């Protein structure tokens, strides 16, 4: 299970920050809740203890997943990504045909995907069909209702701060 996880620098930084917070802050908070629940006496019928132990298990599971992501991360170097065709780490402006709706989003690795933030996965149907397309080319995406066509209007890098 050592697959490469594609991440932008921002995505990698977010994962590291979450990991640090879980390890340095949340672990201590959960340990305190367990300690407090134990102080109530018999743990065999102690719902506070059970809840704290469940929270601890979920926390440790998330920490392990983040460690895996960090260990297997491949950070995309914007300076080495050409913006002459759609690729992971680039912004894309497309037009839905024939409706004419304009959509602007970033193609990211599946770990960072968040459609509500305008980030779609390179593994999604839209992402897969757009990869490699150039400005003016059409991507056809199979959806449950048939085929949706998108024209690539622009491909660009996001300015780094």
Q: Are 111 and 60 in the same domain?
A: no
| 41: CATH | 1.10.287.180
Listed residue (79, 105, 111) closest to 92, CA to CA: 105
Tell me if residue 45 falls in helix, strand or coil: coil
The structure's pTM equals 0.74
pLDDT digits (tens, 9 = 90+) for 36-52: 888 877 777 778 888 99
What pLDDT band is residue 2 in, cutting at 50, 70 and 90? low
What pLDDT band is residue 160 in, cutting at 50, 70 and 90? very low
Given a contact cutoff of 8 angstroms between Cβ atoms, the answer to whether 129 and 148 are in contact is no
Q: Are 98 and 62 in the same domain?
A: no
Task: Report the distance separating Cα 50 and Cα 75, nearest Å.
Answer: 39
Domain containing 54: what range? 5-75
Looking at the chain, how many residues does it have? 161
Where is the domain boundary, 43, 75, 107? Answer: 75
| 116: CATH | 3.10.50.30
Q: Are 94 and 143 in the same domain?
A: yes
Confirm whether 161 is domain-assigned: no
């Amino acid at each position: 299970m050592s697959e490469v996880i594609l991440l932008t620098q921002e995505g990698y930084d977010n994962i590291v920050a979450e990991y640090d917070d879980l390890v340095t802050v949340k672990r201590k908070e959960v340990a305190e809740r367990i300690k407090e629940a134990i102080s109530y006496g018999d743990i065999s019928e102690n719902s506070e203890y059970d809840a704290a132990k469940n929270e601890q298990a979920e926390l440790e599971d998330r920490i392990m997943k983040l460690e895996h992501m960090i260990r297997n991360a491949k950070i995309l170097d914007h300076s080495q990504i050409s913006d002459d065709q759609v690729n992971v780490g680039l912004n894309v402006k497309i037009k839905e045909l024939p409706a004419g709706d304009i959509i602007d989003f970033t193609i990211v690795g599946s770990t960072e995907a968040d459609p509500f933030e305008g980030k779609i996965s390179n593994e999604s149907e839209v992402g897969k069909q757009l990869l490699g397309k150039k400005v003016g080319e059409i991507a056809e995406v199979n959806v449950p209702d048939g085929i949706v066509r998108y024209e690539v209007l622009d491909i660009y890098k996001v300015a780094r701060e």
